[in-house]
Amino acid sequence: MNKLLHVLLWKMNLQAVIATVGILVLASGVGTYVYASSTSNFQQTINIGTLAIDIVDASYVTVASPSVVMSTATFSFACQTITGTFGTASQNIYVSNPDAADNGWTASLAASATTAVWDSVGTDYDFNDNGTSGCADSGVDVDTLGGQMTVDPSVGTLAVGQCNSCVTTNVTKGSSTAYVEGTTNSITVLTGAAASNDIGDWKLTGVSVSQKIPEEQVPATDYDINMVLSIVAS
């Protein structure tokens, strides 16, 4: 071993050895040296982050194309309901507040347009029409389609995310609400009160989504709708 070290030192420039050892020590964090000086002034700034909402997997990695899969329905002469779950183990609703919204925040879910519909090729049905308990067109909105979606965050499971010292206190799940065009275009999913953790992250799973399908709705396998999950600081 000594012989090997001797050969290595002989082969190398002494200054390079000292520099290399120094870099390795600093990089590994094994030793920390503070040189005493009357003018020493160590400063560090950690900027606040920005409030964010996302759909992440169990490892907190953003899901590229998040979606909510609804239960299948069979053609019926009567109005029927399909259900789905927004927020799953692989697609968590995730709120991150890195000291960016001390007054609290509101997370809400809305369709990408108030005139949006469950769209399939050649046939659609509505998501925000409360005619006949959501089963038929009310005539209030511009389209002539029936169908209504209800979102119930209150049955979901709220948990702290990666923050070990955080709590879910003062973070409230929204109540069960149905979309009604012109009246309820946006449904509150989560609310962080001012007293909630200023630095914290939370994840929500198991939000119930149910959709009334009008009677005699044409069968199709590709009904879909675009929705937007928003967060705004209070």
Partner 1 sequence: MQRLFLIISTAAVLLTLPLNLRGLEYGGLGGRPANPNPAIPNSQNWFIYELAAGTVKEDAVIISNGGTEPVTALIYPADATRSSDGGFALKQQTETMTGVGSWVRLYPNDRPTFAAGSNTSIIEWCGSSLDGNGSRANRLTPTQKLELIAWCRGVANHELTIEGGREISLPFIMSAPPGLSVGEHTGGIVIQKKQPTADLTESGIQITTRVGVRIYQTVPGTVKKELRISGFNISPAAQPGYYTVTLSLSNGSSVSLNQLSRISITNLWTRQHQTIERPGQVLHDDELVINFPLKKPFLGRLRLQATVTYDVDGQPQLITSRIIHVTNVHWSLLIILVLVLISIGGMLIKRRRAHSNQETTRYTVKAHEDVSAIADRFHLSWQQLAKLNQLKPPYRLTPGQVLIIPKQKTSRTRSTSRKNH
Q: Tell me the closest approach of the beta carbon of residue 24 to partner 1, in angstroms.
A: 6
Are 137 and 145 in contact by the 8 Å Cβ rule? The answer is yes
- Letters for 160-179 (x = contact with partner 1 by CB under 8 A, - = none) are -xx---------x-xxxx--
Q: Which is nearest to 55 in space by CA: 189, 176, 205?
A: 205
The interface with partner 1 within residues 128-157 (CB under 8 A) comprises 150, 152, 154-155
Residue 125 sits in the site that holds partner 1 (CB under 8 A): no
Are 52 and 95 in contact by the 8 Å Cβ rule? The answer is yes
Distance from C-alpha of 50 to C-alpha of 83, rounded to nearest angstrom: 34
Q: Tell me the closest approach of the beta carbon of residue 201 to partner 1, in angstroms.
A: 7
Residue 50 sits in the site that holds partner 1 (CB under 8 A): yes
Stretch that binds partner 1, among 36-44, 105-113, 138-146 (CB under 8 A): 105-113
In the complex with partner 1, which residue's Cβ is closer, 39 or 75? 75
Q: Tell me the closest approach of the beta carbon of residue 12 to partner 1, in angstroms.
A: 5
Label residues 179-190 b or e (16+ Cβ within 10 Å = b). Answer: bbbeeeeebbbb
Distance from C-alpha of 28 to C-alpha of 226, rounded to nearest angstrom: 49
Stretch that binds partner 1, among 31-39, 140-148, 216-224 (CB under 8 A): 216-224
Q: Which is nearest to 229 in space by CA: 2, 52, 71?
A: 52
Q: Tell me the closest approach of the beta carbon of residue 38 to partner 1, in angstroms.
A: 30
Stretch that binds partner 1, among 23-31, 34-42, 136-144 (CB under 8 A): 23-31
Q: Tell me the closest approach of the beta carbon of residue 217 to partner 1, in angstroms.
A: 11
The number of angstroms, rounded, from the C-alpha of 196 to the middle of its chain's C-alpha atoms is 18
- Compute φ and ψ for 81, nearest 5 degrees: -125, 135
Helix (H, G, I), strand (E, B) or coil at 16: helix
Residue 101 sits in the site that holds partner 1 (CB under 8 A): yes
